[in-house]
Amino acid sequence: MEKATVVVVGGGATGVGILRDLAMRGADVLLIEKGDLVNGASSRYHGLLHSGGRYAVKDQEAAKECIEENTILRKIGHSCVEPIGGMFVRLKSDPEAYEADWVEGCRTSGIEATPLTLEEAFRMEPRLSKNVVSAYAVPDAAIDGFRMSCQNVLSAAKYGGRTKTYTELVKIYQKNGEVTGIRVRNTLTGEEYDIECSILVNAAGGWCEKVAQLAGLNVPVQPDKGTLIAFNQRLANHVVNRLHKSSDGDIFVPHGSITILGTTSMSIDDPEDTSTHPDEVEKLLSIGAETFEDLRSYRILRVFAGSRPLYKQPGAEGRGASRGFVILDHAEEGLAGMMTIVGGKFTTYRLMAERITDMICEKLSIHEKCRTAEEPLVEEVSTEAKARAKKYFPSFGLELAATRLGPEAFDRVTKVLAENPEKRELICECENITRAEFEEVAGREECHIINDIRRRTRLGMGTCQGNFCAIRAAGAFYETGKLEAKDSLAQLKGFLQGRWKGIEPILMGRNVRETEMTRALYELSFNIDGGKLE
Amino acid sequence: MSEEKRAREETSRDTADHCIACTCCIANCPVTEATKEFAGPKLVGPAHSRMTFAEGDVEKTLDYCSNCKNCEITCPSGVAVATMNMLQRGEYYRHHKHSQRDDMLAHGERMGKLVRALPLGATFANLGMKIGQALGMFSAVGITNKRDMPAYAPQSFMERFLHIKQKPSDKKVVFFPGCYINQNDPEVGVAFVEVMQKNGYEVLVDEAFVCCGSPMVVTGYLDEAHDHAHTNVERILDWKKKGIPVVACCTSCSLMLKAEYHELFGEKEMHEAAENVYDAFEFLEGLMEKGELLEAFKPVDGKYAYHSPCHLRAQGIGLPALEILNKIPGYQIENLAAGCCGLSGNYGFKADKYEVSMKVGEKLFKRVEELAPDKVVCDCGTCRMQIAHGTKKPVCHPIQILAKAYK
């Protein structure tokens, strides 16, 4: 039977953080995730590495945690953090009194908020509304949730930390009030098997309640859905926040080649519910257009939603509910070895992991100190390696590939590109992904479907939303030998369906034209729905 | 801000956001069709414009774009693809040194002035170019020796113009000859004056006009082209104030004055000046629509074929020369409709682009061969050079046919 001392349930930011921390301290740890990494709230969010400014008035403790973790992640996460800086802007219509409280809040929380003249603010952000009356620079940053999690997993693997994606927890075994193991199901094959363990960490985010139920425990979690809009380009050079009491649609995060605007806040029943509605888009746009007046003329790529796992405290809901995190040791309820960590923010994932890992290590009598704040997530690709590779990579594609791949995979891809010029073909033109990189990633054990490759490369996430890369990706994936020809059509359709999900609520203007083109390509030319000839 | 206002204030770079990656530009890019080396307009223009955040870089194959503008003509979403490429090229050369070849190809006007300043300059310059070609001096700097450099006319148009006696008139136009007509093909300018005189117009010239800047833009001398734009725009606005339109017989010059200045540099004055600039046949068609064009044509014999320059099609004014020439009794002219000629200004003069240039022109050459006309008619001087080179057929500007019909 498979064994691990600690099993972590949930491949979101918290789970991968715990995996890495435990592995680095020498624990025998396995992470299981029912889908791919970060398919819940950890990728369905802004991509904002908070400076803490957003919490400076309401929650000083959270603000302090944010700025500390922000500083740490900038240091350890060179390959997933874009240290672009942020700005808080107050509009004419926003209450003036809040500004003074905010400035004071930043000061006491240790967040450097530098006042900007309006001239400076407009120079930094030319598209900003002229209704801005005051502006401050803060150390916000953008962070790529996909890369961050993959890099945590990679780092953990170096220390023996194991990860199984598409592996769902179906049963928790207990004996004499102690966890003894779990039963899991491979969600791709349906195969079920047991894993022996003595500690089970429930880090399942929005699914924490369900996981706890498997052990007969009650962890009330309120999924709180936030909807976000991804724009086709970088509308801003910095993160732009409204300087007012935190509300919907008041943060813009330029993130890679796109900008994300969000978010809404709505209590929902099922964490799986990532549906979005045109009304939410309209709401976000009308609020967003107060900060960037031309907002409606910029092209929207897609809409997406994720749910924050808020730990339910009586009487608090939505934005009022705590964004802080809780660690529950279920030994107190009579099940030793089972722990739950829930709530919190992406920005503080490492801190959350450190806290619970400290508790686990105490149980395991491990005395190693946490080193996740000092050791970089991954090694960086050297300047020399990049210089050597430059001529083989597509223009504007070198740095991105280097941060996505890390030194070893980068060297392998460079070698392939150098030796086989035909592998320089772009599978995804919008996000600059070569066939060589695609094959490198597709070949990894954890990649089972095209969407797994997408999350690790940004395939299909740019302007054409899969129109031109879907067919190439399905073909190239088949050619790696990991996919049977008969399954490639289903993969292609699944991938396109995922793209369509984000486009449907914004089916207006140019997006209608693009969607008609998708239909013409895939439904008419390729007939992927397979009509019958009478 | 309203959608409409925003569209007006939008820069060429901003139009990248309209791209839905439909790929029509690639399907209609003559260079992409001719060579696999070029990454294609979609990637080089709009797609890369989203990726500049990642690193300071330049598209390796940007050099292949000939600025023929077929991408912009084709784009159903109004993306200024070629303009973006030219802006990138200009940006590149702000930080990189130009080759001697590019300097020569961009500055035909400077060379022309030098030649005219010497006694028998044109004769010696032409001889020099022949010798230079034979000795491989051009190939040494990267200019192809497989085609002739444009020969200097014995007298420039501006020199010829001094001796043309015109009937004075209250109706006036200012002629913008452009470098090629002025230095190499002054007959076109002379024919233009004849045609305008027949229609009761007096033609003026303006010594203060400078090269439109098109050869500079395509070789990456963007700041210099910008200076030229300022000089010309100031003059055009001055003529506009006087109510006198500026007319050009070269479609690349007229495209530059009418559209590219504004697209590249985005200044309001450029847009205002553009309203006072016409392509010669656009102007004549305007007269025809008002019933003011003299339509007393004498028959013109022979079999003709018409090639519409890309830079005319980019103006979105139809094919006015063909409309008017078709009014000439018994005149036989067929539209070749065979796409880009491939020369694209100075593009096909570059040694490393000669083959691409000829490959692009193949369709056109073949069509000419099939039709076997006596002469090929085309509004653009460089297209005429390419057609003569690729088909050995005689060529002329449509204004020369019209002048003949008025004789």
Instruction: List the CATH number of the domain containing B41.
Output: 1.10.1060.10
Answer yes or no: are the C-beta atoms of A185 and A205 closer than 8 Å. Answer: no
In whole angstroms, give the CA distance from residue A122 to residue A139: 18
pLDDT at site B115 = 85
Q: What is the pLDDT of residues B34-93, one digit of tens each?
A: 999 999 999 999 999 999 889 989 898 999 999 999 999 999 999 999 999 999 999 999
Q: Where does A312-396 show beta strands of DSSP type E?
A: 325-329, 338-343
Neighbours of B205 (CB within 10 A): 17
Amino acid at A41: A
Query: Could you tell me if B303 and B365 lie in one domain?
Result: yes
Answer yes or no: are the C-beta atoms of A240 and A124 closer than 8 Å. Answer: no
- Which of B17, B55, B76 lies at the smallest CB-CB distance from A233? B17
Query: Could you tell me if B91 and B104 lie in one domain?
Result: no
Residue B279, min C-alpha distance to chain A (Å): 33
Q: Is residue B175 part of a domain?
A: yes
pLDDT at site B248 = 98
Chain A segment 332-371 residues within 8 A of B by beta carbon are none
CATH number for position B199:
1.20.1050
Residues in chain B within 8 Å Cβ distance of A517? 20, 22
Q: Do A399 and B22 touch (CB under 8 A)?
A: no
For residue B122, pLDDT over 90 is answered with no
Residue B273, min C-alpha distance to chain A (Å): 27
Higher-confidence residue: B209 or A320?
B209
Q: What distances in angstroms separate CA A425 from CA A417, A436, A438, B18, one per listed residue? A: 9, 8, 10, 25
pLDDT at site B1 = 41
Last residue of a domain, one of B238, B269, B288: B288
Q: What distances in angstroms separate CA B219 from CA A15, A361, B183, B252, one per listed residue? A: 55, 66, 20, 15
Q: What is the mean pLDDT of chain B?
A: 94
Residues of chain A with pLDDT under 50: none
**Structural fold of domain A80-140+223-306:** D-Amino Acid Oxidase; Chain A, domain 2 (3.30.9)
What is the rounded average pLDDT of the residues B371-378? 97
Last residue of a domain, one of B229, B257, B288: B288
Residue range A2-40+146-220+323-364 forms a domain whose CATH class is alpha beta
Q: What is the pLDDT of residues B152-181, one digit of tens each?
A: 999 999 999 999 999 999 999 999 999 999
Q: Is residue B146 part of a domain?
A: no
Last residue of a domain, one of B288, B310, B329: B288
For residue B5, pLDDT over 80 is answered with no
Q: Is residue B150 part of a domain?
A: no
> What residue of A is the nearest CA neighbor of B44?
A395
Query: Could you tell me if B164 and B277 lie in one domain?
Result: yes
Q: Do B20 and A256 touch (CB under 8 A)?
A: no
Q: Do B20 and A294 touch (CB under 8 A)?
A: no
State what percent of residues in chain B have pLDDT above 70. 98
Q: Do A468 and B23 touch (CB under 8 A)?
A: yes
Answer yes or no: are the C-beta atoms of B394 and B376 closer than 8 Å. Answer: yes
Q: How many beta-carbon pairs under 8 angstroms link A with B?
A: 83
Under DSSP, is residue B328 helix (H, G, I), strand (E, B) or coil? coil
Partners of residue A428 on adjacent β-strands = A433
Query: Could you tell me if B214 and B299 lie in one domain?
Result: no
> What residue of A is the nearest CA neighbor of B55?
A396
pLDDT at site B6 = 55
Q: Does A400 touch chain B (CB under 8 A)?
A: yes
Query: Could you tell me if B71 and B125 lie in one domain?
Result: no
Q: What is the pLDDT of residues B305-316, one digit of tens each?
A: 999 999 999 999
Q: Do B48 and A256 touch (CB under 8 A)?
A: no
- Which of B18, B47, B57 lies at the smallest CB-CB distance from A430? B47
Question: Which residue in the block uniquely carries the two structure tokens 């070893």?
Answer: A408
pLDDT at site B7 = 57
Closest CA relative to residue A231, chosen from A286, A298, A141, A142: A298
Query: Could you tell me if B52 and B104 lie in one domain?
Result: no
In whole angstroms, give the CA distance from residue A261 to residue A227: 9
CA atoms within 13 A on the CB side of A142: 23
Amino acid at A473: A
Domains held by chain B: number: 4
Neighbours of A524 (CB within 10 A): 9
Q: Is residue B147 part of a domain?
A: no
For residue B36, the enclosing domain spans: 3-95
Domain spans, chain A: 2-40+146-220+323-364, 80-140+223-306, 425-525
DSSP count for chain A of H helices, then E strands: 15, 24
Q: Do B53 and A256 touch (CB under 8 A)?
A: yes
> What residue of A is the nearest CA neighbor of B77?
A510
Q: Is residue B131 part of a domain?
A: yes
For residue B123, pLDDT over 80 is answered with yes
Q: How confident is the model at residue B138 (pLDDT cuts 50, 70, 90)?
A: confident
The pairing of strands A2-3 and A192-196 is parallel
**Sequential DSSP letters for A32-59:** E-SSSTT-STTTSS--EE--SGGGTTT-
Neighbours of A414 (CB within 10 A): 25
> Which helix (DSSP H) or strand (DSSP E) does residue A302 occupy?
strand A300-311
Q: What distances in angstroms separate CA B390 from CA B69, B138, B143, B310, B368, one per listed residue? A: 21, 20, 18, 17, 10
Q: Is residue B152 part of a domain?
A: no
Chain A segment 298-327 residues within 8 A of B by beta carbon are 298-299
Neighbours of A170 (CB within 10 A): 12
Q: Which one of B2, B55, B79 makes the best mutation probe of the A interface by having the most chain A beta carbons within 10 Å?
A: B55
CA dihedral B337, B344, B139, B127 (to 10 degrees): 90
Q: Does A397 touch chain B (CB under 8 A)?
A: yes
Q: What distances in angstroms separate CA A59 from CA A6, A56, A63, B249, one per listed residue? A: 33, 6, 6, 71
Query: Could you tell me if B162 and B47 lie in one domain?
Result: no
Q: Do domains A2-40+146-220+323-364 and A80-140+223-306 have the same CATH topology?
A: no
> Which helix (DSSP H) or strand (DSSP E) does residue B240 occupy?
helix B222-241
